[in-house]
């Protein structure tokens, strides 16, 4: 997407109307009032807007009590808010932000009614998560005045706002909303109106790969969650996160993105999640999801390998992040090792075992291809120096003593070791490769810029690194190898490589 030109934010004298006083509308009204605008809040449920205004005022008072806002500022922000009961009371609005029910007909009907009331320069913004902004604008006489202004929940706390342009959106409108969101203390990113916009599209593999790994018996949920947290650096593992979001909501988003992309296999929903929805096991809110939240339920622990003896001889190879981190961690613990160069990508040799970082092949496939029977593969870590746990897979023909030596090496370096079934790409590596692939495709298809996708995933879903910056850190060529090997293993279009990643692997040009 070409760089948008700079526009000024709406002035503080601009009157903001928020329609829909639910979770999102209330948060958005709070943000706009705190920024200095007069805000009118409307809901079609009797008293809902008045309750929301009271709740926001109480929130301003709490912020003042905590010293995060001066008493005067809290008072002034509170006085800028008003609840209204009739659409006609929004006639003088300069910007209407809609956060009503997620239904195309309802949103179109609201804007049709509004267009008859407001002035010609009034801007329309929709907070929709999943409906086409182009379709919402389609019935307007002036569709160019409408864009998506997609806040994340809770709106006062989450920095990201996706500014979504539909086919008819005037770039000047998108730019004004961009500048306005920035003036409100948010980090806006531009996106084109495509299914899932940026975050809800690019995040799909975080859930999808975990569900696939579970379906294939790679490991149990607690172990997979622990690997994504402790090695991957994600704030929450995929299963605990899906339980928090609610499987009803998470599954609906997956289905909506999948349908909107005409059943692209990249987004195929999981039967495992479908079953949770069918059972009413929606997650934390219903007491059961992947985990059991009922009174007395015991939280399962991740699986860690039993302690193995420290290997007799350790040779570390090359200068990969894994090899350097092992050297540092062993050195800090007073464990002796030698260092050497190898003609292949091996990280270490220990008592007969050869360790490599995953390139997307299973350990058994890699042992077959290389002739090294005692092959042990390491999963990806965000930072091998900081990780507290690492996943491994072991080739079918690897001896028990070699596997134990490999595990003993990682334990001697202070890592808990989770051994997965010998699935291609392990857990963190294939998840991050698929996130980077989706991010690259979003950029390749002009949905957003590389900077925007990385910022969106860090700020919208708290990823420790943007997926493209992460691909750079791993090596774009390595990510391409992982995806190509996954595609070869599964024979599925789901793992097809983004042309943008291929291009950057060939040219060596920076992605992010
Ligand atoms: N909840 C989230 O995490 C989240 C995040 C980003 C975007 N969104 C989007 O924001 C919008 C609102 O979501 P929410 O979670 O706040 O929903 P919600 O159910 O909490 O609130 C919606 C509110 O809109 C009111 N409403 C419905 N139809 C109306 C109409 N025609 N006129 C006036 N008021 C009407 C309802 O009474 C309700 O108070 C949806 O489009 C949703 O997809 C939600």
Please provide residue 462's backbone torsions phi and psi, each rounded to the nearest 5 degrees: 60, 30
Distance 358 CA to ligand 1 centre (A): 44
| Ligand 1 pocket residue status of 101, Cβ below 6 Å | yes
**Residue 372: predicted pLDDT:** 98
Q: How do the pLDDT tens digits run along the chain, 512 residues long?
A: 444 456 899 999 999 999 999 999 999 999 999 999 999 999 999 999 999 999 999 999 999 999 999 999 999 999 999 999 999 999 999 999 999 999 999 999 999 999 999 999 999 999 999 999 999 999 999 999 999 999 999 999 999 999 999 999 999 999 999 999 999 999 999 999 999 999 999 999 999 999 999 999 999 999 999 999 999 999 999 999 999 999 999 999 999 999 999 999 999 999 999 999 999 999 999 999 999 999 999 999 999 999 999 999 999 999 999 999 999 999 999 999 999 999 999 999 999 999 999 999 999 999 999 999 999 999 999 999 999 999 999 999 999 999 999 999 999 999 999 999 999 999 999 999 999 999 999 999 999 999 999 999 999 999 999 999 999 999 999 999 999 999 999 999 999 999 999 999 999 988 88
The length of the chain, given as a count of residues = 512
Continuous H helices in 116-203: 133-137, 171-183, 199-202
| Ligand 1 pocket residue status of 21, Cβ below 6 Å | yes
Distance 23 CA to ligand 1 centre (A): 7
Taking every pair of Cα atoms in the chain, the longest distance, rounded to a whole number of angstroms, is 81
**Residue 7: predicted pLDDT:** 84
| Ligand 1 pocket residue status of 29, Cβ below 6 Å | no
Using CA positions, which residue lies closest to atom 39 of ligand 1? Answer: 22
Q: How far apart are CA 150 and CA 126, in angstroms?
A: 7
Distance 106 CA to ligand 1 centre (A): 11
Distance 274 CA to ligand 1 centre (A): 25
Positive or negative, the Cα torsion across 80, 82, 88, 94? positive
For the chain, what are the domain ranges?
16-193, 201-286, 314-419, 428-507
CATH of 16-193, one of 3.90.1580.10, 3.40.50.2300, 3.40.50.720, 3.40.630.30: 3.40.50.720
**Residue 5: predicted pLDDT:** 55
Please provide residue 431's backbone torsions phi and psi, each rounded to the nearest 5 degrees: -65, -50
| Ligand 1 pocket residue status of 19, Cβ below 6 Å | yes
**Residue 4: predicted pLDDT:** 47
Cis-peptide, bond into residue 112, ω within 30° of zero: no
Does residue 190 have an active-site annotation?
no
Using CA positions, which residue lies closest to atom 9 of ligand 1? Answer: 128
| Ligand 1 pocket residue status of 22, Cβ below 6 Å | yes
| Ligand 1 pocket residue status of 43, Cβ below 6 Å | yes
Distance 52 CA to ligand 1 centre (A): 13
User: Which of 46, 99, 131, 248 for mutating ligand 1's site (highest number of atoms within 8 Å of CB)?
Assistant: 99
Q: Check if 16-193 and 428-507 are the same fold.
A: no
Which of these, 305, 318, 400, 396, lies nearest to 353 by C-alpha position? Answer: 400
Does residue 129 have an active-site annotation?
yes
SS3 sequence of 348-387: EEECCEEEEECCCCCHHHHHHHHCCCCEEEECCCCCCCCC
| Ligand 1 pocket residue status of 128, Cβ below 6 Å | yes
Distance 454 CA to ligand 1 centre (A): 27
From 127, 200, 256, 437, the catalytic residue: 200
Q: How far apart are CA 349 and CA 43, in angstroms?
A: 66
Q: How far apart are CA 63 and CA 286, in angstroms?
A: 31
Enter the pTM of the model. 0.95
Name the token pair of 51: 């309750």
| Ligand 1 pocket residue status of 162, Cβ below 6 Å | no
| Ligand 1 pocket residue status of 394, Cβ below 6 Å | no
Q: What CATH number is given for 201-286 in this structure?
A: 1.10.1040.50
Using CA positions, which residue lies closest to atom 7 of ligand 1? Answer: 129
Does residue 449 have an active-site annotation?
no
Does residue 503 have an active-site annotation?
no
Distance 108 CA to ligand 1 centre (A): 14
**Residue 348: predicted pLDDT:** 98
From 40, 127, 129, 374, the catalytic residue: 129
Helix/strand/coil for 489 = helix
Q: How far is CA 89 from CA 11, 13, 17, 40, 92, in A?
A: 21, 17, 9, 8, 8
CATH of 428-507, one of 3.50.7.10, 1.10.1040.50, 3.40.47.10, 3.30.210.10: 1.10.1040.50
In terms of CATH architecture, what is 314-419?
A: 2-Layer Sandwich (3.30)
Q: How far is CA 483 from CA 189, 267, 457, 492, in A?
A: 28, 16, 20, 11
């Amino acid at each position: 997407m070409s760089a948008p030109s700079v526009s000024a934010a709406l002035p503080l004298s601009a009157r903001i109307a928020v329609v829909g006083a639910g979770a999102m509308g209330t948060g958005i009204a709070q943000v706009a009032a705190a920024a200095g605008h007069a805000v009118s809040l409307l809901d079609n449920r009797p008293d809902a807007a008045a309750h929301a205004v009271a709740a926001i005022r109480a929130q301003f008072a709490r912020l003042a009590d905590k010293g995060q806002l001066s008493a005067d500022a809290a008072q002034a922000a509170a006085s800028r808010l008003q609840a209204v009961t009739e659409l006609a009371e929004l006639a003088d609005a300069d910007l209407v932000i809609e956060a009503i029910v997620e239904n195309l007909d309802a949103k179109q009907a609201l804007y049709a009614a509004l267009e008859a009331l407001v002035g010609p320069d009034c801007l329309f913004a929709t907070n929709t998560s999943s409906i086409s902004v182009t379709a919402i604008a389609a019935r307007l006489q002036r569709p160019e005045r409408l864009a998506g202004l997609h806040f994340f929940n809770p709106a006062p706390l989450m920095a990201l706002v996706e500014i979504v342009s539909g086919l008819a959106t005037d770039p000047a409108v998108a730019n004004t909303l961009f500048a306005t969101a920035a003036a409100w203390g948010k980090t806006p990113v531009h996106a084109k109106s495509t299914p899932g916009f940026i975050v809800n599209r690019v995040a799909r593999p975080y859930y999808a790969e975990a569900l696939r790994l579970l379906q294939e018996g790679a490991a149990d949920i607690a172990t997979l969650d622990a690997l994504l947290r402790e090695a991957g650096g994600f704030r929450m593992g995929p299963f605990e996160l899906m339980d928090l979001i609610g499987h009803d909501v998470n599954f609906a988003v997956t289905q909506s993105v999948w349908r909107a992309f005409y059943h692209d296999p990249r987004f195929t929903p999981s039967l495992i999640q479908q079953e949770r929805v069918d059972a009413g096991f929606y997650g934390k809110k219903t007491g059961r999801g992947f985990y059991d939240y009922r009174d007395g339920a015991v939280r399962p622990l991740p699986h860690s390998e039993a302690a193995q003896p420290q290997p007799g001889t350790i040779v570390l190879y090359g200068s990969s992040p894994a090899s350097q981190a092992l050297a540092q961690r062993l050195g800090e613990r007073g464990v002796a090792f030698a260092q050497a160069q190898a003609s292949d990508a091996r990280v270490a040799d220990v008592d007969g075992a050869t360790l490599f970082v995953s390139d997307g092949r299973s350990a058994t496939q890699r042992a077959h291809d290389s002739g090294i029977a005692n092959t042990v593969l390491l999963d990806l870590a965000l930072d091998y120096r900081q990780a507290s746990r690492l996943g491994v897979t072991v080739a079918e023909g690897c001896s028990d003593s070699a596997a134990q030596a490999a595990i003993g090496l990682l334990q001697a370096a202070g890592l808990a070791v989770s051994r997965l079934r010998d699935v291609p790409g392990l857990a963190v590596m294939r998840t991050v490769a698929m996130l980077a692939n989706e991010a690259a495709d979003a950029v390749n298809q002009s949905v957003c810029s590389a900077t925007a996708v990385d910022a969106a995933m860090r700020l919208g879903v708290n990823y420790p690194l943007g997926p493209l910056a992460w691909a750079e850190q791993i090596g774009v060529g390595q990510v391409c190898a992982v995806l190509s090997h996954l595609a070869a293993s599964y024979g599925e279009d789901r793992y097809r490589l983004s042309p943008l990643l291929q291009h950057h692997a060939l040219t060596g040009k920076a992605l992010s």
